[in-house]
């Protein structure tokens, strides 16, 4: 080996060591930069403050408004509708005259029945006189037969004449009764030609017009509808998935399409047992009444209805997105920044069974039977957790107890205090992605619903 070669080798070793050292330093700096760039600070968290307020768990439905009491006023007799005394929107009282049908035919029938009755009453007087004369003649013949001053035949003729006169009198009495009955019908039809209001209310519709001919022989024609608008009935349609949550007497409120700022409160009256099926959707009718003294609610209005299944006043409320059902791996309750457990799974929280295997993994021994599932009683509930951002910027996992909850908010009974911040997620990173604040919980992973 020459002297030049030896000298060159001695110079190349420090250069190689220097290059390796610089490469290691650059690698460490790059890793640290990547780690710090992707490590979220307290400013990267999306948080919500636990605040006090009112919360309701609702079953929503749509419905329409109908008057609680209404009557379809019709005609009991046929004829031309001669006069209408009301119009739509008229306020009427029970007994007010609403309409009148032409009475010419009915008056003629009443006059004819009265004339026939008068004639029959005169005939009855004649028959009564004849019967009285026949009775006198029969009594005379009875006295004569005692003295043998008349024949037996004359006595029999007198008795037959008396019986005939009495029978004719009874026939006329029956005819008079029939005529009087017909006269009462004609008088009633004449009365029915004038139509009066059966209840106090408002005329909400008129289906017949003045001058129209009404035919009441087959069915009673409807002229108008009168409704009592002081009390309205709300008919709501509830799906079969929610009908089991409702019960009579529960609180309910609704708003109308044109009055979203006004809320009407009531209580559920009844649930009709027979459903309506529309396009294979089973809907049950739930009915309740509401006072309408100012008549602001009108017939056929659309209503957005909310049945209150549970509620709480002045409750501690947090968003549902902050809830988690998964427990953290390890016993530490604090992490410097949410996702980190030393499991090598990217900082996600692990759920393991009793054998120490992560849920969803295959058993280590393929021949071994899977571990038995843990049996829970009917009163056991899956624990619920939240991630609390402390004042020092640390993330603290805390177990809580819930009360009333809905799809958006939940009431916290134990585990939090008003003013504490709960983590609901992370803001987007520089790479444009978003990491979860903590694993295994929330709405997406079998969390609270």
3-class SS at 182? Answer: helix
For the chain, 449 residues long, give each residue's pLDDT as a single digit of tens: 554 444 455 455 566 666 677 777 777 766 555 554 555 556 678 899 999 999 999 999 999 999 999 999 999 999 999 999 999 999 999 999 999 999 999 999 999 999 999 999 999 999 999 999 999 999 999 999 888 888 889 999 999 999 999 999 999 999 999 999 999 999 999 999 999 999 999 999 999 999 999 988 878 889 999 999 999 999 999 999 999 999 999 999 999 987 767 899 999 999 999 999 988 999 999 999 999 998 899 889 999 999 999 999 999 999 999 998 776 554 444 443 434 333 333 333 334 443 344 333 444 444 434 444 444 433 446 789 999 998 888 889 999 999 999 889 999 999 999 999 999 988 776 555 554 444 444 443 333 33
Q: Where are the domains of the chain?
A: 59-67+228-312, 103-191
Contact status, residue 229 vs residue 295, Cβ threshold 8 Å: yes
Q: How far apart are CA 305 and CA 268, in angstroms?
A: 11
Measuring CA to CA, which residue among 108, 102, 114 is closest to residue 77? 102
Q: How far apart are CA 171 and CA 306, in angstroms?
A: 72
* CA angle (410 as vertex; 404, 412 as ends), nearest 5: 80
In angstroms, what CA-CA distances link 113 with 172, 182, 273?
15, 7, 53
Contact status, residue 408 vs residue 48, Cβ threshold 8 Å: no
Q: How far apart are CA 340 and CA 161, in angstroms?
A: 128
Give the chain's length: 449
Measuring CA to CA, which residue among 206, 208, 209 is closest to residue 227? 206
pLDDT tens column, 295-341: 899 889 999 999 999 999 999 999 999 998 776 554 444 443 434 33
The domain covering 59-67+228-312 belongs, at the CATH homologous superfamily level, to: Efflux pump adaptor protein, beta barrel domain (2.40.30.170)
Strands 213-214 and 79-84: antiparallel
DSSP secondary structure, 193-234, as one string: TEEE-SSSEEEEEE-S-TT-EE--SSSPPEEEEEEEEEEEEE
pLDDT tens column, 238-275: 999 999 999 999 999 999 987 767 899 999 999 999 99
């Amino acid at each position: 080996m020459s002297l030049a070669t030896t000298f060159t080798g001695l110079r190349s070793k420090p250069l190689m060591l220097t290059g390796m050292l610089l490469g290691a330093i650059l690698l460490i700096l790059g890793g640290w930069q990547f780690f710090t760039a992707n490590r979220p600070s307290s400013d990267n968290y999306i948080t919500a403050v636990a605040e006090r307020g009112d919360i309701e768990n609702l079953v929503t439905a749509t419905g329409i408004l109908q008057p609680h009491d209404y009557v379809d006023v019709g005609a009991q007799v046929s004829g031309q509708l001669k006069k209408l005394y009301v119009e739509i929107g008229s306020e009427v009282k029970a007994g007010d005259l609403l309409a009148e049908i032409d009475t010419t035919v009915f008056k003629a029938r009443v006059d004819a029945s009265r004339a026939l009755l008068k004639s029959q009453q005169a005939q009855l007087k004649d028959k009564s006189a004849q019967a009285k004369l026949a009775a006198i003649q029969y009594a005379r013949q009875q006295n004569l037969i005692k003295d043998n001053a008349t024949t037996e035949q004359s006595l029999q003729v007198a008795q037959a004449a008396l019986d005939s006169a009495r029978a004719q009198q009874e026939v006329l009495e029956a005819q008079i009764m029939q005529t009087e009955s017909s006269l009462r019908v004609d008088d009633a039809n004449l009365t029915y030609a004038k139509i009066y209001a059966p209840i106090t209310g408002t005329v909400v519709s008129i289906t017949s017009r003045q001058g129209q001919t009404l035919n009441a022989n087959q069915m009673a024609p409807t002229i108008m509808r009168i409704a009592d608008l002081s009390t309205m009935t709300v008919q709501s349609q509830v799906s079969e998935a929610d009908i089991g949550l409702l019960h009579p007497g529960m609180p309910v409120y609704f708003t109308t399409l044109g009055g979203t700022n006004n809320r009407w409160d009531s209580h559920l009256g009844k649930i009709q047992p027979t459903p309506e099926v529309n396009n294979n959707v089973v809907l049950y009718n739930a009915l309740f009444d509401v006072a309408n003294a100012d008549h602001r609610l009108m017939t056929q209005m659309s209503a957005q209805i909310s049945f209150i299944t549970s509620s709480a006043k002045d409750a501690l409320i947090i968003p549902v997105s902050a809830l988690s059902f998964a427990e953290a791996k390890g016993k530490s309750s604090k992490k410097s920044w949410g996702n980190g457990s030393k499991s090598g799974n990217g900082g996600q929280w692990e759920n393991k069974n009793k054998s120490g295997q992560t849920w969803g993994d295959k058993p280590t021994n393929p021949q071994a039977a899977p571990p038995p599932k843990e049996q829970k009683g009917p009163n056991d509930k899956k624990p619920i957790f939240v991630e609390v951002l402390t004042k020092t910027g640390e993330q603290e996992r805390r177990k809580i107890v819930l009360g009333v909850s809905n799809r958006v908010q939940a009431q916290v009974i134990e585990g939090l205090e008003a003013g504490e911040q709960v983590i609901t997620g992370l803001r987007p990173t520089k790479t444009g992605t978003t990491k979860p604040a903590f694993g295994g919980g929330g709405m997406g992973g079998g969390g609270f619903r």
